[in-house]
């Protein structure tokens, strides 16, 4: 079976992407990156997700000492109490980590070449792309070209970038996840590392909206 490196954060989108890669006929190799984010809770959820999916797991630590994001610097406030429509209208939020996906995809591509994988998967999608420039389709298409012309396996037409969620909104992603058997109780979206999701940050707002529109209950609140 073909191998795929899947960027796994512990969040809902990357969880669905992990399970989607398996459905697409790949053996998933989950890459989990501890980059000094605000809390470690999502890392523990990611480890559980990899076990539940039967994926190989590689965890690495990365230092981004220049920070530049509220996810890296606790002195910067996390945006909160914004409606879903307001989130989309206000542009790139402080939770954007400078060039994070470029860094992560480069590392995933290197890992993919080393294990002779055929694809790199990322869970970027349309609702994130309204704020984060490195979640937009044009960016992902450009990075796919980088992989195809800037790696040995890419030149051999043996490596590509996959982003199966890019045209889906959160409700559609949740629906897909349900059909794939994703254990949503082992996903963490909140930017805070509390015992329960804060329900105030942008990520919580979009997750709650997605479950409501999908007609499902979020298992984190059952």
Q: Name the residue with higher pLDDT: 89 or 185.
A: 185
- Residues 19-65: tens digit of each pLDDT: 999 999 999 999 999 999 999 999 999 999 999 999 999 999 999 99
Strand partners, 4: 28, 119
Q: What is the pLDDT of residues 191-205, one digit of tens each?
A: 998 989 999 999 999
| Predicted pLDDT at 127 | 80
Please report which confidence band the pLDDT of residue 83 belongs to, taking 50, 70 and 90 as the band edges: confident
Confidence of residue 149 (pLDDT cuts 50, 70, 90): very high
How far is CA 112 from each of CA 77, 150, 151, 196, rounded to the nearest angstrom?
Answer: 36, 13, 10, 35
For the chain, give the percent of residues with pLDDT over 70.
99
- The pLDDT assigned to 131 comes to 79
Domain extent listing, the chain: 2-221
d(CA 33, CA 30): 10
Residue 163 has pLDDT above 90, yes or no: yes
> In angstroms, rounded to a whole number, what is the distance separating the alpha carbons of residues 39 and 43?
9
Predicted structure pTM score: 0.96
Judge contact between 108 and 7, C-beta under 8 A: yes
Whole-Å CA distances, 40 to 10, 115, 194, 217:
10, 27, 10, 25
pLDDT tens string 92-118: 899 999 999 999 999 999 999 999 999
- Whether the pLDDT of residue 129 is over 60: the answer is no
Q: 100-105: long-range contacts at Cβ-Cβ below 8 A with a sequence spacing of 24 or more? A: 100/35, 100/134, 101/132, 101/134, 101/135, 101/139, 101/143, 102/134, 102/143, 103/62, 104/7, 104/31, 104/33, 105/7, 105/143, 105/161
- Inter-axis angle of helices 137-150 and 100-114, nearest 10: 40
Residue range 122-148: mean pLDDT, rounded? 90
Please give the CATH superfamily to which domain 2-221 belongs.
HUPs (3.40.50.620)
Q: Give pLDDT tens digits for 9-20.
A: 999 999 999 999
Q: Which tens digits make up the pLDDT trace of 42-52?
A: 999 999 999 99
% pLDDT > 90, the chain: 88
**Average of per-residue pLDDT values in the chain:** 94
């Amino acid at each position: 079976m073909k191998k795929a490196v899947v960027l796994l954060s512990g969040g809902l989108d990357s969880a669905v992407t992990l399970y989607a890669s398996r459905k697409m006929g790949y053996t998933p190799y989950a890459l989990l990156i501890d980059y000094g984010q605000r809390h470690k809770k999502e890392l523990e959820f990611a480890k559980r997700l990899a076990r539940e999916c039967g994926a190989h797991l590689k965890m690495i630590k990365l230092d981004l000492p220049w920070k530049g994001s509220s996810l890296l610097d606790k002195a910067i406030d996390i945006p909160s109490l914004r409606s879903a429509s307001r989130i989309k209208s206000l542009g790139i939020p402080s939770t954007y980590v400078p060039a994070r996906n470029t860094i992560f995809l480069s590392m995933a591509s290197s890992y993919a070449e080393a294990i002779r994988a055929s694809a790199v998967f990322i869970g970027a999608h349309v609702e994130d792309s309204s704020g984060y420039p490195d979640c937009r389709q044009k960016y992902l298409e450009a990075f796919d070209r980088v992989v195809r012309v800037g790696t040995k396996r890419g030149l051999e037409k043996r490596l590509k970038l996959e982003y199966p969620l890019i045209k889906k909104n959160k409700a559609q992603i949740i629906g897909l996840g349900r059909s794939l058997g994703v254990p949503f109780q082992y996903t963490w979206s909140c930017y805070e590392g509390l015992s329960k999701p804060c329900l105030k940050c942008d990520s919580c707002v979009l997750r709650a909206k997605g479950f409501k529109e999908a007609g499902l209950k979020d298992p984190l609140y059952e």
